[in-house]
Structure 1
Amino acid sequence: MAVDPVLCSAADSLLVVIDIQPCLAEAMPEEERESMIGNTAMLLQAASELDIPMILTEQYPQGLGTTTPELLGFLPQNTSPLPKTGFSCFCAEGFKSVLADSRCSQVIVTGQETHVCVLQTAFDFLHQGYQVFVVEDAVCSRNPEHKIYALERMRQAGAVVTCGESVLFEWLRDASHPKFKSLAQLIR
């Protein structure tokens, strides 16, 4: 079966969760923050159920703290967030080897801030030839206008801007999927 290049494929995806740490999240607009955390949690649960590899990063955790606790519970065993100080995830030690091990061609990106770490990471993925899906309702910036501008830049550069629910249903592809009923509960 041929895969449509504009749809996410569970077999080809890697979920990348960027810097969702309480110290940073508290500076985000409340509605955007809740959307980012909720949709990222949904995608982490789905990725875990579907055996989709994932990478989490933390921006300078010594000063900004670790990943938001409600997300850590969805990580598979032996998965730990990668610390970084550079804005792109490609700066995190071990990131490139985890990426290579995943053998993915598509990356699904969530996190903060859209106009800094998300944007620079997306551009690095695009430069490396990956198909990038930025989950609009799972990214945020302190200033909502910065998010809008960053999403437009990423779209112009070739990234697909989508939503968490679309990613979930593209991963499933069909209501006959054995995990459909359990995963569809995540959006209710």
Structure 2
Amino acid sequence: MSTESENLPLTRSLELMSVGDTGLLVVDMQGKLLTMIAGHERVTWNCRRLVDGAKLLGIPVAGTEQYPQGLGPTTPVLAERIGPMPAKKLFSSRECAEIFYGWRDAGIYKVLVCGIEAHVCVQQTVLDLLSEGFRVYLAVDAIGSRGVLDAEVAVRRMDASGATITTTEAALFEWCETAANPQFKAISGLVKESAPA
């Protein structure tokens, strides 16, 4: 004979990102540096899909720009979706503390990070956010560096330091959570897009 509690669904893991507890941070996707990044078309495509998915699901999105006077503005495909972004001189996005204080005040304690460069601005941001008590997720197919080895070592270091390694597609479906979500079809459309050559 089943009990009433056996008919209830299991509790969703706190390891999973959810709408309402997660923000998306796009780090320094600026044109002058972006074209030098290994696989930059893939990195840009995946960052754009993450931004589009976050917007569909109501997840807050913020971006940063590293010394835009020298490195130029964020690539247009992302800038038009994200809107105004704070500039910074520190490599870490911790300089843009208003983003993270605002998210914390809104109950957002998980941050999915994407952008460039993996071993500099992304890595320093991830480590600082972990130090501040955020749960940090890293979309490894939406980050890059000029050197492939630099990116690989950075991912290993961030993983060892406590960041959760994930991918763009995994994050999109994690945010969506269920095929019953009204935005599931649109999220599926993002997942099914053809990758850049």
User: What is the TM-score when the length of structure 2 is the normalising length?
Assistant: 0.88
Structure-2 residue corresponding to 1:175: 179
Structure-2 residue corresponding to 1:123: 127
Give the distance between the partners of 2:187 and 2:97, measured in 1 at CA: 32
Identical columns (%): 36
Cα drift, residue 101 of structure 1? 4.2
Q: Which runs of 5+ in 2 are unaligned?
A: 1-9, 193-197
Q: How many residues align?
A: 183
Give the distance between the partners of 2:122 and 2:149, measured in 1 at CA: 15
Give the distance between the partners of 1:129 and 1:100, measured in 2 at CA: 10
Does the Cα contact within 8 Å between 1:86 and 1:92 map onto a contact in 2?
A: no
Give the distance between the partners of 2:88 and 2:105, measured in 1 at CA: 19
Larger Rg: 2
Q: Which of the numbers 6, 28, 34 marks the counterpart of 2:37?
A: 28
1:106 aligns with 2:110: yes
For 1:177, the aligned partner's letter is: N
Give the distance between the partners of 2:74 and 2:175, measured in 1 at CA: 25
Give the distance between the partners of 1:129 and 1:49, measured in 2 at CA: 27
Which secondary structure does the structure 2 equivalent of 1:124 belong to? helix
1:12 aligns with 2:11: no
Structure-2 residue corresponding to 1:80: 84
Give the distance between the partners of 2:101 and 2:131, measured in 1 at CA: 17
Q: Which consecutive aligned stretches of 4+ in structure 1 deviate over 4 angstroms post-superposition?
A: none
The C-alpha deviation readout for 1:114-173, integer Å capped at 9, x for no partner, is 001101100011111111100000000100101110100110011011100000000011
For 1:28, the aligned partner's letter is: I
Give the distance between the partners of 1:60 and 1:88, measured in 2 at CA: 12
Structure-1 residue corresponding to 2:53: 46
RMSD: 1.4
Cα drift, residue 102 of structure 1? 4.0
Give the distance between the partners of 1:92 and 1:85, measured in 2 at CA: 10
The C-alpha deviation readout for 1:40-88, integer Å capped at 9, x for no partner, is 100101111111111100000011111100112323xxx4111001011
User: What is the TM-score when the length of structure 1 is the normalising length?
Assistant: 0.92
Q: Which of the numbers 113, 129, 142 marks the counterpart of 1:138?
A: 142
Does the Cα contact within 8 Å between 2:173 and 2:187 map onto a contact in 1?
A: no
Does the Cα contact within 8 Å between 1:85 and 1:92 map onto a contact in 2?
A: no
Give the distance between the partners of 1:167 and 1:41, measured in 2 at CA: 13
